[in-house]
Amino acid sequence: MELNQAIRTRRSVGKVGSATPDRHLIERVLEAARWAPNHHMTQPWKYFVLIEDARHRLGEVFKEIKAEGMSPSEREACADQLERARRKPLRAPVIIAAAVTPSDDPKVEEIEEICAVASGVQNALLTAHALGLGAIWRTGKAAYSPKMKKFFGLGESETLLGFLYIGYPSIIPKERPRVSLQEKVEWWER
């Protein structure tokens, strides 16, 4: 697929089938992520690929995070919500968790490290699309929880940027309107 076409036709695909894509396809997605631009070449990315039972273990963490602060009676009353949280990772056969491991070099700005990993995620999403896979980048409160950080064995300075849910698309989302360039770009000549 031509690059500009991939950029313009890629959509967040929230519904995928249960068939697991071949490992070599996921490795191609990850390889694209590895080539993201990165100031100081610190390569601050760390990716975790969850398939099969690992998704169930992740679901338990989603459920624990959702239940935080609830009394036993509230947990009982919210059992459906807790079960939905537990099943989130089962929405796709492959999940890639993307994390930032920032350099401790004082010349390196943490925001640049985060941007490098986000660029890698975009490379991954475009590559997945070009390979005929459906993918969506999901974040939210659970992604930033200390319990999630612990699940992935991330250190204090490391940050989880979210999850890529990947599979074969069950739906092809329609194009959404974009704001015109004129509304978002200022040209400065002086």
- Are 45 and 99 in contact by the 8 Å Cβ rule? The answer is yes
Tell me the Ramachandran region of residue 52: left when phi exceeds 0, alpha when psi lies from -120 to 50, beta otherwise. left
> Is the alpha carbon torsion for 44, 30, 64, 69 positive or negative?
positive
Which residue type sits at 1?
M
Contact 124, 96 (CB under 8 A): yes
To which H or E segment does residue 49 belong? Answer: strand 45-51
**Which residues make up each annotated binding site?**
10-12, 39, 137-139
Task: Pick out the residues of the known binding site for FMN.
Answer: 10-12, 39, 137-139
Q: Residues 120, 122, 124, CA angle at the centre, nearest 5°?
A: 70
Are 33 and 120 spatial neighbours (Cβ–Cβ below 8 Å)? yes
Residue 141 falls in which region: left (phi positive, over 0), alpha (psi -120 to 50) or beta? alpha
Which of 133, 174, 142 minimizes the C-alpha distance to 27?
A: 133
